[in-house]
Structure 1
């Protein structure tokens, strides 16, 4: 039986990819230091989250062997004498009953169960979440996205992955407060490995000597690049938008052709959205200050420092989009376009044929 089982449930866009990359990169070294990442590969933790929460779009397509990934993770946990870590942000929006069942499963395999939530300020999460949607084929403009989040529209998934107090309520059921850990993503300007160090302290893990350099390219987009991709998505007919298209855009087109095609600038929160963003963040901080949870980091880092020199995608000029599109076309070995409309059509057709 494991000594402690840690379940990292999110939130999304809170440095999860950075942490997971490092955990899996150093999996053998971490095992030697007493921490097991169960499963055969990183994707097993995503599959486990899909199984736990009943993510039918994924579960229905699983092969026979993958349908018991969660059970195998629990079995590996039970057979390991040290600590265990399972991490995927898709656990975050699990129904309460599913969360209770998952915690019970881990409780049968470990002496202690701990839940870990990483949290980042809304001022950075909002544009990052919009970018993620655009990478998956979304056409919704940035301002409209912010409005839908503010109104909590019924089809808006944002808060299912970002309601930190709500996620903690679901995943802390039956656990003492000291076993529910909130790791705050540090404010801009902190050492790049600070989140890694903070999380390691929760895990009781010695990470001395482990390389924290990123091995995957940083595929975050600037304002111009993100708006260009959104317009390319808009040029794709609705009946031709497929999962293969989205996977190709996110997995290949963005990191190899789009990133770096325009000068990088910061996203701004429009003036008419500043008040509710700040109020929402302040409410989260107040709730966490009054909670029994173990908080690692400064809760004030969850109060957004909104970039005064940032821009919104609707402020990008046609000339900037055309320049970026020209760079992308050249990188792809495609002919130059006469105008922005032709460039968007050419990129859309290329992505459809490649996907």
Structure 2
């Protein structure tokens, strides 16, 4: 395994840029700095061509294209990705000609077989493709990934979810995608078998080096130092424990009443949650999602297994693999605070749902059952009343 332990050492060891014309495919996985890199590349999109590099996508993250390429479903209630999304991205990549181009989506990590990976690589340019994988310790990924699953309808609490992911073989429920993405040794092996280990670079992200990942991308792409800069993105912030628990309990009500997925996508995830993220910043008093000690130790053990296997694959590793095996020090014990949602946060979430309802009328995918007023919950009556009011306002 070729290892460059730090960015500075990598430069001293002559970390060369990838050959001109390379099609750099950054496959994530999730929660490893993908959003920050995508935002920085998109913000610098107009400056990149002067340095022989193109970012061939019209949005920061071509998620639908990646989902279509991997034949994976969309997030709950979202528009189903089609081959047209993938074909459009391929045309954009082809239009870059002989320039170096970079495509980044963590959803490429969801490709679960070599046939799918081989097709993606061939369509993107075959031997021109170089695969980049970014890694962080599982202990830092798990809480972020759990709250992201909750934003997609998960109803299971954090410790129960950890028990299923770490203790209940075959470790596939309730989210089979977790280990497909985050058993990083197997993820790297799947792609290395297709493109060859010499065309795979693994970057271990060091959270103590805030600009390290940006500088590594600049070095690989042959860009001037500090061209890539982080772009603030409140919509991508993690939820606090209270916010996540509020949403998780809403998910229970949502599923219990058999409401359509389209409603969840438009009013909850892209309405209430999105507005809450954009308008409310967590305070130091907010209770964070805390991983119990047993899960931290289990995650570090899995990390050690992955590091050993990655070392046998022959791929290039930039950064310190030992970071993936560290057991974080548990915080000083204090009486657990009860997570409480602030009134203003709840108000912003409610407003986000109402604003989304006003902007985009939701069409139910299944016929509603006829019920009397007395058989209908107060929540549903309020929803119906709001819908009727909105219809009247639109007519006026």
Same-fold status (TM-score > 0.5) = yes
Contact 1:10-1:91 within 8 A present in 2 as well: yes
Alpha-carbon RMSD across the aligned residues, in angstroms, is 3.3
Q: Which residue of 1 aligns with 2:146?
A: 130
Q: Aligned partners of 2:266 and 2:22: how far apart in 1?
A: 36
The CA deviation at 1:284 is: 1.3
Q: Which residue of 1 aligns with 2:358?
A: none
Q: Which residue of 2 aligns with 1:114?
A: 130
Contact 2:74-2:81 within 8 A present in 1 as well: no
Number of residue-to-residue matches in the alignment: 328
Residue by residue over 1:172-231, the C-alpha shift from the partner in whole angstroms, topping out at 9 and shown as x without a partner, is 1243433201111113xx242222112322333324344324254552122233223222
Residue 3 of structure 1 aligns to a residue in which SS?
A: coil
The CA deviation at 1:38 is: 1.5
Q: Aligned partners of 1:333 and 1:162: how far apart in 2?
A: 34
Matches within 5 A, 1:195-274: 195-238=213-256, 239-240=258-259, 242-257=261-276, 259-260=280-281, 263-274=285-296
Matches within 5 A, 1:282-301: 282-301=304-323
The CA deviation at 1:283 is: 0.8
- Residues 249 and 276 (structure 1 numbering): CA distance in 2 closer, same or farther, change over 3 Å? same
Q: Which residue of 1 aligns with 2:7?
A: none
TM-score, length-normalised on structure 2? 0.72
- Residues 167 and 332 (structure 1 numbering): CA distance in 2 closer, same or farther, change over 3 Å? closer
Matches within 5 A, 1:1-355: 3-43=21-61, 45-55=62-72, 57=74, 61-62=80-81, 65-66=84-85, 68-77=87-96, 80-94=97-111, 95-108=113-126, 112-150=128-166, 151=168, 152-153=171-172, 155-156=174-175, 157-187=177-207, 190-238=208-256, 239-240=258-259, 242-257=261-276, 259-260=280-281, 263-309=285-331, 316-317=337-338, 320-321=339-340, 324-331=341-348
- Which stretch of structure 1 is more off in the superposition, 286-295 or 122-131? 286-295
Contact 2:218-2:227 within 8 A present in 1 as well: no
**Which structure's CA Rg is the greater one?**
2
Unmatched runs of 5 consecutive residues or more in structure 1:
335-344
Contact 1:266-1:311 within 8 A present in 2 as well: no
Residue 138 of structure 1 aligns to a residue in which SS?
A: coil
Q: Aligned partners of 1:292 and 1:192: how far apart in 2?
A: 28
Contact 1:269-1:306 within 8 A present in 2 as well: no
The CA deviation at 1:330 is: 4.1
- Residues 118 and 310 (structure 1 numbering): CA distance in 2 closer, same or farther, change over 3 Å? farther
Unmatched runs of 5 consecutive residues or more in structure 2:
1-18, 352-377, 388-396
